[in-house]
Amino acid sequence: MKITFLGGGNMANALIGGLLNKGFPAEDIAVVELNADSRAKLEASYGVRTFAGPDAAAWACDAIVLAVKPQQMKDACAPIVPHLNAQLIVSIAAGLRLADMSRWLGGHRKLVRTMPNTPALIGAGITGMHALPEVSEAERIGADRIMQAVGSTVWIADEAQMDSVTAVSGSGPAYVFLFIEALQKAGEELGFTPAQARQLAIETTLGAAKLAANSDDPASVLRERVTSKGGTTAAALARMAECGVLEGIVAGVKAADARGRELGEQLGKD
């Protein structure tokens, strides 16, 4: 499979690096990137081919990964249209609906919409994926191979739920960072140095996540096992409940979902 990336930003770099680490040949990867410094860095770091513009040779590939900002996507798609035939197109742009993408690509229908998250930058991402019916099973496997270069994947049957993927996992790292920030702040207020509080907060979060990942039990059961009646954990959770922590997180995720739908409407306008 020959892959061309449109855009050479952070996520494209992560995907290229992940593919190469999994044995994908560098000569089968090309990147269309306007910035000369970025092109030079891509060539030096990965040994891939780069193009300064939409050269016809760039689109002689099996799959195109659209890795430009959502606000730039419509204009970025226009030069590709004359070169499209049977290529699979994978979009990593947040919020853009496949119907709008297809329209901007002259009616091309071999499209997969994805929503990775920032832990993909260290190979620990999770990506939600949705394909149009015209995408074959072999092409779905190809799209999966690309995105699994930076973590795990989950296929979503209803595209409308891709906004929910954005709300839960796409924005999710920010929620976790907020928790770490709060835990560290509490540690500092209890007398630990910033370095100590940071280590305690991060490694506790990391360890708890690994424990949850390695257990078949729901998070609620794991929480109950740590919570002795009348103990310190119970006191903390009771106070958090008074402050509406759980409800606030759920409400925040739902707000992100609603905002995602609004942005999809705005970005999809011609």
pLDDT value for 2:
96
Average pLDDT of every residue of the chain:
95
Indicate whether 27 and 95 sit together in one domain: yes
Indicate whether 138 and 193 sit together in one domain: no
pLDDT value for 168:
97
Where does residue 107 fall: left (phi above 0), alpha (psi -120 to 50 degrees), or beta otherwise? left
Residue 84 lies in a domain: yes
Strand positions, DSSP E, 7-67: 29-32, 49-51, 63-66
What domain range is 184 assigned to? 172-263
pLDDT digits (tens, 9 = 90+) for 80-127: 999 999 999 999 998 899 999 999 999 999 999 999 999 999 999 999
Tell how strand 49-51 and strand 29-32 pair up: parallel
Start-to-end C-alpha separation, the chain: 33
Residue 22 lies in a domain: yes
Task: Please report, for the domain that includes residue 44, its CATH number.
Answer: 3.40.50.720
Determine contact, residues 76/50, Cβ cutoff 8 Å: no
pLDDT average, residue stretch 232-250: 96
Please name the residue that has the structure tokens 């195109």: 64
For residue 222, count other CB atoms closer than 10 A to its CB.
Answer: 14
Indicate whether 123 and 250 sit together in one domain: no
Residues β-bridged to residue 63? 3, 88
Residue 83 lies in a domain: yes
Q: How far apart are CA 56 and CA 80, in angstroms?
A: 9
Residue 190 lies in a domain: yes
Query: Sorting pLDDT into bands at 50, 70 and 90, what band is 54?
Result: confident
pLDDT value for 55:
82
Does 128 have pLDDT greater than 90?
yes
Task: Give the tokens for residue 23.
Answer: 């044995």
Residue 269 lies in a domain: no
DSSP result, 67-82: -S-GGGHHHHHGGGGG
Determine contact, residues 40/33, Cβ cutoff 8 Å: no
Indicate whether 106 and 68 sit together in one domain: yes
Q: How far apart are CA 13 and CA 28, in angstroms?
A: 15
Q: How far apart are CA 49 and CA 61, in angstroms?
A: 12
pLDDT digits (tens, 9 = 90+) for 138-150: 999 999 999 999 9
Model-wide pTM > 0.85: yes
Determine contact, residues 30/5, Cβ cutoff 8 Å: yes
CA distances from 64 to 18, 111, 199 (A): 16, 10, 41
Indicate whether 246 and 123 sit together in one domain: no
Residue 270 lies in a domain: no
Query: Sorting pLDDT into bands at 50, 70 and 90, what band is 59?
Result: very high
Stated as kind and residue range, the H or E segment containing 111 is strand 111-115
Strand positions, DSSP E, 16-107: 29-32, 49-51, 63-66, 88-91
Task: Please report, for the domain that includes residue 212, its CATH number.
Answer: 1.10.3730.10
Share of the chain above pLDDT 90, in %: 92
Number of domains in the chain: 2
Q: What is the DSSP letter of 56?
A: G
